[in-house]
Amino acid sequence: MNTATTRTVKRSCPTCEACCGLILEVDDAAQKIVSIHGDPDDPRSQGYVCAKSQAFKYIHDDPERLRTPVRKTPSGDWEPISWDDAFAEIAKQLNTIRAESGKDAIALYVGNPTGHIVSCQLYLQGLMQSLGTERFFSAGTVDQHPQQMGSFVLYGEEWKFPIPDTDRTDYFIIMGANPMVSQGSLMSAPDIESRLKAIRQRGGKVVVIDPRFTETAEQADQHIYIRPGTDAYMLMAFVNEMFTKELITPGHLDGLIDGIDDLRAAVQDYTPESTAKLTGIAPEVLRQLVTEYCAAATGAAYGRIGLCTQEYGTLASWLVDVISLLAGKLDVPGGMMFPRPATSAPGPGTADTTEHWGRWASRVRGFPETCGELPANLMAEEITAPGKDRVRALITICGNPVLSVPNGKEIRQAMKTLDFMVALDIYINETSSQADIILPSTTQAEQSNYDLTFTGTSGRNFVNYTPQLFEPENDLRTMGESLCAITAGLNGISSEDMDNFMFEGTLDRVVKQSAAIGRELDADAIRAEYAEQPGWERIIDLMLRNGPYGDGFDSTDEQGLSLARLRTLGGNVDLGPLQSQLPEQLKTEGQRIRLMHPLITGEFARLAEAFSQNLASPQSSSSDHDMLLIGRRHIRDMNSWLHNIKQYVRGKDRCTMIIHRNDAERIGLSDGGLALLKSTVGEARVPVEISNDIMPGVVSIPHGFGHIYSDSRQSLANDQAPGISCNDLIDHEALDTASGTSVVNGAKVQVYAA
Ligand SMILES: Nc1nc2c(c(=O)[nH]1)N[C@H]1C(S)=C(S)[C@@H](COP(=O)(O)OP(=O)(O)OC[C@H]3O[C@@H](n4cnc5c(=O)[nH]c(N)nc54)[C@H](O)[C@@H]3O)O[C@H]1N2
Ligand SMILES: Nc1nc2c(c(=O)[nH]1)N[C@H]1C(S)=C(S)[C@@H](COP(=O)(O)OP(=O)(O)OC[C@H]3O[C@@H](n4cnc5c(=O)[nH]c(N)nc54)[C@H](O)[C@@H]3O)O[C@H]1N2
Ligand code: SF4
Ligand SMILES: [Mo]
């Protein structure tokens, strides 16, 4: 109910990639969000919300959230410090370490919520440039990094992902994703259930390929079990079948693809028959899938976490795109399409001919960088192994690698040996507890925001600007302000100068992008317009006005986008269905699509070797206890960080091990009893959940649990949802070679009765 003391505000939900539209009732006097509901007028979500729509309110209200910077005392306690003291201390420590041990002695780990905070994304660029460190880690290498590598290879741009056009497709193949729970990733599509139903209602088909009969499988016409980690084999056979049946029809991209004959040769040995034993998929099932998909008028083949975070994640992800490409289902309505964010460059793509891999390597084992990152799995050894360039300082930004990364307990131990660590986090948790200084940030209610990342992953083009609701409590700083201040400290300049420097960098880029389409901009005039307006909003405004839907800095253009216009329109604007944009937007050399990139041919060789070994000795004698571990998500979790909220942790224990009935009987496990899991790196006891809906030989445990450390200050998480960290069972040595991504799906474990 809207009373005199409350007002109604619209914003987008900042908690997952769907970016649903919300209507809030806000009590300004009490600085409280009174209620949150779905916005029926939001063109994308149309009133839909999930249980986590309330998350940012609960976070805002959580008494255990940090509200001031804190410093660790010699006794291991925490004391509040002022922002000025915190920034001064951080500058002193980082500058000393850099002077003594070099730039690469400072490492960075960037976590997932960064993508939901625009100021964080923008000012992180400045910090990374200033640090110039080769020790850059992120949650990406436990996530989408294989897709980045695939996009870099095929389209010349690592953050350009093809997204399923769910609203216009007739045939939707979902591999290694469970959008009914995750709400879609690299597929911002609110209310996926309705979208899946609509596909079926218009006579289309939904197929799910997953080792578990998931919540998404329940919504599908067909579910195909696949043995974890074998999607690359299945997809090689898929392509082989396309060649055999002469189903290669690239449509409007015909003539732009190099290496089709080499690809035909590479897939030659992988047939539906030869791969069936490995994948567990019968040849006729795969053949039918290929036939139906290729015959469908439109089709979207989509893979996510389960496909990325496996032994051949890059190859599997690349193959998903290649199938679309060869079938003429890439960049066409109803297929896999590219969004055109309002902040992107106004003109066509310009070739980027630099290689984005192998420019440097990890210090200890020489693992090559991929798109500027080193595998998060290797963080511990980069910190602990003695020698030149050893990491001495770590900055974590919205990340909890102790729970999110394989063998996180080793990372935690390594953190204890650092000379200095600063965590930018709103909680004292498993990771930030290891820091010397923790800088909290404003909550989503206390800052304005713009959905920068997810306008680039949406199945429909849109823009969304979210206003600030309340003045920050306690002089809290935004992520952008903190990152700007840290960067300023590294450069010995003021935050204001650093902020101006960031603005100037964008202005320079915008002027060049405009010049490339024959639009001359007056940089001085533009600069004058933004005088006295510090912060991220002017940076986004530059990008919006310059972008494909922008006013081009022409104030007489009343239709073109700018932040001011967006505000008058209520923040949220639908920019229509996705449009074809290849080859114009390709950033590859000569705007051609090169299939046989060395990164991929290397993976062909690696797969071929494993394949021939497997054909030679199909059943390596495995014990009755050998199982493959996969992950899962739950609707009320968000990785590791919503477990201190009572509304999200109540109910049944979710950190359980799902196992097939036959396996449970053989091993002697009972439903609700405990299982003992062992691997090369650890062991743990986990409650058992017996099911018929998982492939025999496979067990599933969610990640993000393991709130077992007494130095955290998340009492609810520790008391009510401790669970175990499945990542403490996962070997960090196992990596998808082409991208350095963790193999968290298909990890080898042994399961016993506890
Ligand atoms: N086994 C296994 N492991 C996985 C996965 C899996 O499927 N299986 N999934 C992987 C994936 S996809 C991801 S993305 C990663 C996630 O890996 P991370 O990003 O490292 O972990 P999160 O749990 O998302 O931690 C987010 C952190 O940000 C903090 N935070 C939240 N909001 C804010 C804010 O507004 N400001 C600040 N300063 N801090 C904030 C939280 O307190 C928390 O510490 O986990 C990966 N790990
Ligand atoms: N509620 C909730 N929503 C979330 C998150 C969350 O933690 N909770 N996290 C967010 C984040 S950071 C991300 S990246 C997205 C992830 O979004 P999704 O990719 O949709 O996430 P998952 O639910 O982990 O789905 C992975 C699926 O892969 C399957 N799988 C495992 N191994 C294999 C394999 O080898 N092959 C195949 N084909 N399938 C396999 C698993 O059984 C599982 O069903 O979700 C986001 N949304
Ligand atoms: S689906 Fe995601 S964006 Fe939508 S309400 Fe739930 S958490 Fe928020
Ligand atoms: Mo993720």
Chain segment 687-725, per-residue pLDDT in tens:
999 999 999 999 999 999 999 999 999 999 999 999 999
**Cα–Cα separations (whole angstroms), residue 269 to 147, 265, 312, 688:** 25, 8, 17, 40
How buried is residue 32: exposed, middle or buried, by Cβ count under 10 Å (0-12/13-18/19+)? middle
High-pLDDT (> 90) share of the chain, %: 96
pLDDT at residue 596 tops 60: yes
Specify whether domain 622-753 bears CATH 2.40.40.20. Answer: yes
Residue 640: nearest ligand to its CA? 1
Q: Which CATH class is domain 149-339+582-604?
A: alpha beta
**Is residue 242 within 8 Å of residue 234, measured between CB atoms?**
no
- The two tokens of residue 650 are 């109540």
Q: In whole angstroms, give the CA distance from residue 280 to residue 288.
A: 15
Task: Specify the pLDDT at position 352.
Answer: 87
The reply to whether ligand 1 has any atom less than 6 angstroms from the CB of 119 is no
- 591 Cα: distance to centroid of ligand 1 (angstroms): 36
Residue 234: nearest ligand to its CA? 2
Smallest CA-to-CA distance from 700 within 634, 628, 635 is with 628
Please, how many CA atoms are within 13 Å of residue 504, restricted to the half-sphere of its CB?
7
Looking at residues 196-214, what average pLDDT do you find? 98
Establish whether domains 149-339+582-604 and 622-753 are of one fold. no
Task: Specify the pLDDT at position 621.
Answer: 56
DSSP letter for 530, please.
Answer: T
Q: In whole angstroms, give the CA distance from residue 495 to residue 485.
A: 5
**Would you say the C-alpha torsion 182, 185, 190, 195 has a positive or negative sign?**
negative
Tens of pLDDT, residue by residue over 157-196, are 999 999 999 999 999 999 999 999 999 999 999 999 999 9
Residue nearest to atom 45 of ligand 1 (CA): 404
**Is residue 455 within 8 Å of residue 161, measured between CB atoms?**
no
Q: In whole angstroms, give the CA distance from residue 416 to residue 500.
A: 36
Which residues hold their Cβ within 5 A of ligand 4, which is an ion?
Answer: 143
Tens of pLDDT, residue by residue over 495-504, are 999 999 999 9
Task: Specify the pLDDT at position 385.
Answer: 96
Within 6 A (CB) of ligand 3 lie: 13, 15-16, 18-20, 49-50, 52-53, 183, 190
* Closest ligand 1 atom, residue 399 Cα: 20
The reply to whether ligand 2 has any atom less than 6 angstroms from the CB of 654 is no
Looking at residues 281-291, what average pLDDT do you find? 98
Residue nearest to atom 4 of ligand 3 (CA): 20
- 248 Cα: distance to centroid of ligand 3 (angstroms): 38
High-pLDDT (> 70) share of the chain, %: 99
Task: Specify the pLDDT at position 619.
Answer: 59
Residue 404: nearest ligand to its CA? 1
SS3 387: coil
**Would you say the C-alpha torsion 373, 378, 384, 385 has a positive or negative sign?**
negative
Q: Tell me the sheet residues that pair with 137.
A: 109
- 339 Cα: distance to centroid of ligand 2 (angstroms): 22
The reply to whether ligand 1 has any atom less than 6 angstroms from the CB of 744 is yes
Q: What CATH number belongs to 62-133+357-444+475-557?
A: 3.40.50.740
Q: Which residue has the tokens 């088909």?
A: 205
H-helix or E-strand spanning residue 538: helix 536-546
pLDDT at residue 120 tops 90: yes
Tens of pLDDT, residue by residue over 364-402, are 999 999 999 999 999 999 999 999 889 999 999 999 999
- 13 Cα: distance to centroid of ligand 3 (angstroms): 6
The reply to whether ligand 1 has any atom less than 6 angstroms from the CB of 703 is yes
Task: Specify the pLDDT at position 616.
Answer: 84
Q: Which residue has the tokens 């200050």?
A: 713
Q: Tell me the sheet residues that pair with 59.
A: none
- 358 Cα: distance to centroid of ligand 4 (angstroms): 24
The reply to whether ligand 1 has any atom less than 6 angstroms from the CB of 727 is yes
Q: In whole angstroms, give the CA distance from residue 150 to residue 165.
A: 19
Looking at residues 227-254, what average pLDDT do you find? 98
- pTM for this entry: 0.98
Task: Specify the pLDDT at position 505.
Answer: 97
Select from 16, 462, 633 the residue to mutate for testing ligand 3; criterion: most ligand atoms less than 8 Å from CB.
16
- 398 Cα: distance to centroid of ligand 1 (angstroms): 7
pLDDT at residue 620 tops 80: no
- 553 Cα: distance to centroid of ligand 1 (angstroms): 38
Say how many C-beta atoms besides its own lie within 10 A of residue 534's C-beta: 16
Residue 229's φ and ψ, nearest 5 degrees, are 85, 5
| Ranges of each domain in the chain | 62-133+357-444+475-557, 149-339+582-604, 622-753
**Is residue 173 within 8 Å of residue 289, measured between CB atoms?**
yes
Q: In whole angstroms, give the CA distance from residue 653 to residue 651.
A: 7
- 216 Cα: distance to centroid of ligand 2 (angstroms): 11
